[in-house]
A and B are shown apart, each in its own frame.
Chain A
Amino acid sequence: GQQLNQSPQSMFIQEGEDVSMNCTSSSIFNTWLWYKQEPGEGPVLLIALYKAGELTSNGRLTAQFGITRKDSFLNISASIPSDVGIYFCAGRPSGTYKYIFGTGTRLKVLA
């Protein structure tokens, strides 16, 4: 099935470091959502973006809707051990009902 290009695939970082990940698409998207998923659980919504160029923060998380509407990035500042998990982007192509998810970024934080 179709999935968005998400990078990096995995990251090992030290506690306190900043993290950056991004998603790209070949299609124009109306909406970008960023989720975090932990083992055995469903994805949990972190940030939602609806307009090109929009920059939104949620605590230590900041995400942006790319100006071309084909990409988005997520930054996590001052990482802590509980940030461990898999982060997914999801986008909705214009004129559709479906959301397409990225391949995921697996984050591990070393204390």
Chain B
Amino acid sequence: GAGVSQSPRYKVAKRGQDVALRCDPISGHVSLFWYQQALGQGPEFLTYFQNEAQLDKSGLPSDRFFAERPEGSVSTLKIQRTQQEDSAVYLCASSSTRLAGRSSYNEQFFGPGTRLTVL
């Protein structure tokens, strides 16, 4: 398909386990974002990639969270030693343009998300 895809769609982990969440952006999209959405809340920014460069990781909640995009396409969000408070939907979004300057056209398209439940 032409949209952003994420896998798995659902993940159940025992507390302390490591998990890896995958995002396949729209082909050719330069920008990639990860968000965390808690139940009943809006998405919260985690990190931003421009091609393979991670330009902003200020939203990652702790050093247990790590994201990479080694070839500037697929991205993986890894959470080590999962805790119950990590339970949330993790959303990926991509955009065809770079974030630059005061007014940059940057329409983000979201994937369906991965629902992570930590028991």
- Quick one: closest A residue to B93, CB to CB? A42
Which B residues lie within 8 Å of A96 (CB)? 56
Question: How many residues on the B side are at the interface (Cβ–Cβ under 8 A)?
Answer: 28
Q: Residues of A at under 8 Å CB distance from B?
A: 1-4, 6, 30-31, 33, 35, 40-45, 48, 50-51, 88, 90, 92, 94, 96-104
Also in contact, A98 and B43, with CB within 8 A (given A33-B108, A41-B112): no
Is A42 a contact partner of B113 (Cβ separation < 8 A)? Answer: yes
**B55 close to A (CB within 8 Å):** yes
Most-contacted residue by chain A among B44, B56, B58, B91 (CB, 10 A): B44
Also in contact, A92 and B106, with CB within 8 A (given A97-B99, A104-B42): yes
Which B residues lie within 8 Å of A50 (CB)? 103, 105
Give min CB distance, A70 to chain B, whole Å: 15
Which A residues lie within 8 Å of B99 (CB)? 92, 97
DSSP majority for the B interface?
loop
Is A31 a contact partner of B103 (Cβ separation < 8 A)? Answer: yes
Which A residues lie within 8 Å of B59 (CB)? 1, 98
Is A40 a contact partner of B55 (Cβ separation < 8 A)? Answer: no
CA distance A42 to B112 in the complex (A): 4
Interface residues of B in 82-119 (CB under 8 A from A): 91, 93, 99, 102-113
17 pairs, A vs B, C-beta closer than 8 Å:
A1-B59, A2-B44, A4-B42, A30-B103, A30-B104, A33-B108, A35-B110, A41-B113, A42-B110, A42-B111, A43-B91, A44-B110, A45-B109, A45-B110, A90-B42, A92-B99, A101-B43
